[in-house]
Amino acid sequence: MHWQSNAICTISKFIERMKRLMLLLTGFLIIILSACSHYEIPAPECPDGETGMSFSGDIQPIFDQRCVACHAGTQSPDLTTGWSYDELIDGGYVDVDFPCESRLHQVIYVEGHYDNSTEEEKLKILGWIQEGAQDN
């Protein structure tokens, strides 16, 4: 009987220690997670694009000069005249609610595309999106 009493006492101490450890770990986890919310990385500001952009007069010529060497039907989106607008809109490349989140805007700033257009051309594309991405 004595050994059973010692075993129960040892188990009981072990359970008590585990409860304390769990309480300590839970508190530590709460502190860590609450600290994360105080240090959110803000999204970069979206610059103002050019105003008064016309798709056919300002945007399509950029695609014709800078993009159709690769995006002429074999690589999506097809940016050739007559196809580009529908490809961009229907393909989800343009977000008029959050222009800087548009795939089109983001893609022209990544490696492999960045040097294909000037900063002025990038701002024209952004301005066109900011103004509602009209087929004009």
Query: pLDDT tens digits, residue range 14-62?
Result: 888 888 888 888 888 787 777 665 556 566 688 888 899 999 999 999 9
What was the pLDDT predicted at 36?
Answer: 62
What was the pLDDT predicted at 57?
Answer: 97
Longest dimension (CA), the chain: 96
What was the pLDDT predicted at 39?
Answer: 57
**What type of residue sits at position 92?**
G
* Rounded Cα gap, residues 94 and 88, in angstroms: 6
* Rounded Cα gap, residues 91 and 77, in angstroms: 8
Number of alpha carbons in the 13 Å side-chain half-sphere of residue 30: 6
* Rounded Cα gap, residues 68 and 64, in angstroms: 6
**What type of residue sits at position 47?**
P
Q: What is the pLDDT of residues 51-99, one digit of tens each?
A: 999 999 999 999 999 999 999 999 999 999 999 999 999 999 999 999 9
pTM of the model: 0.68
What was the pLDDT predicted at 25?
Answer: 86
